[in-house]
Structure 1
Amino acid sequence: MEKLKLLKGDFACKLSLALAPTIKAGFPSPADDYLHDSLDFNRDLIKNPEATFYGRVSGDSMIEAGICNGDIAVIDRSLEPADGDIIVAFVNGEFTIKYLDLSHMSEGYIELRPANPAYSPIRIDAEDNFRVWGVVVWTIKQWRH
Structure 2
Amino acid sequence: MEDGNLEIFKLENTEPLILKPLNESLKAGGYGSFPSAALDFPDDSIDFLKLLVKDPITTFPGRISGDSLKDIGVLDGDWCLIQKGIEAEPNDIVAAIIENQFFIKRFKPKYDENNQLQELKLKSENPDFSHFEINDETEFFLWGVVTWTFRNWRKL
1:23 equivalent among 7, 23, 26: 26
Structure-2 residue corresponding to 1:115: 125
After superposition, the Cα gap between the structure-2 partners of 1:7 and 1:17, relative to the gap in structure 1 and judged at 3 Å, is: same
Structure 2: segments with no counterpart, 5+ residues: none
Q: Do the aligned residues in 1 keep the contact of 2:61 with 2:79 (CA within 8 Å)? A: yes
What is the deviation of 1:18?
1.9
Query: How far apart in 1 are the matches of 2:68 and 2:130?
Result: 9
What is the deviation of 1:131?
1.0
Larger strand percent: 1
What is the deviation of 1:9?
1.3
One-letter amino acid of the counterpart of residue 130, structure 1: F
Q: CA RMSD in A?
A: 2.4
Does the residue aligned with 1:49 lie in a helix, a strand or coil?
coil
1:88 equivalent to 2:103? Answer: no
1:70 equivalent among 77, 83, 102: 77
TM-score normalized by the length of structure 2: 0.80
Q: Do the aligned residues in 1 keep the contact of 2:108 with 2:122 (CA within 8 Å)? A: yes
Query: How far apart in 2 are the matches of 1:22 and 1:96?
Result: 37
Query: How far apart in 1 are the matches of 2:20 and 2:96?
Result: 34
What is the deviation of 1:23?
2.6
Query: How far apart in 2 are the matches of 1:77 and 1:134?
Result: 4
Range 36-45 or range 70-79, more displaced: 36-45
Structure-2 residue corresponding to 1:4: 6
Does the residue aligned with 2:110 lie in a helix, a strand or coil?
coil
Structure 1: segments with no counterpart, 5+ residues: none
What is the deviation of 1:19?
2.6
Among all aligned residue pairs of Structure 1 and Structure 2, give the percentage whose two residues are the same amino acid: 34
Residue by residue over 1:37-72, the C-alpha shift from the partner in whole angstroms, topping out at 9 and shown as x without a partner, is: 322122111111100000000000111221111111
Query: How far apart in 2 are the matches of 1:16 and 1:100?
Result: 33
After superposition, the Cα gap between the structure-2 partners of 1:81 and 1:27, relative to the gap in structure 1 and judged at 3 Å, is: closer
Residue by residue over 1:53-94, the C-alpha shift from the partner in whole angstroms, topping out at 9 and shown as x without a partner, is: 000000001112211111111000021111111000000110
What is the deviation of 1:132?
0.7
Q: Do the aligned residues in 1 keep the contact of 2:5 with 2:64 (CA within 8 Å)? A: yes
Does the residue aligned with 2:57 lie in a helix, a strand or coil?
helix
1:52 equivalent among 59, 65, 83: 59
Does the residue aligned with 1:112 lie in a helix, a strand or coil?
strand
Query: How far apart in 2 are the matches of 1:57 and 1:98?
Result: 11
Does the residue aligned with 1:84 lie in a helix, a strand or coil?
coil
Q: Do the aligned residues in 2 keep the contact of 1:48 with 1:78 (CA within 8 Å)? A: no
Does the residue aligned with 1:127 lie in a helix, a strand or coil?
coil
One-letter amino acid of the counterpart of residue 114, structure 1: S
After superposition, the Cα gap between the structure-2 partners of 1:22 and 1:79, relative to the gap in structure 1 and judged at 3 Å, is: farther
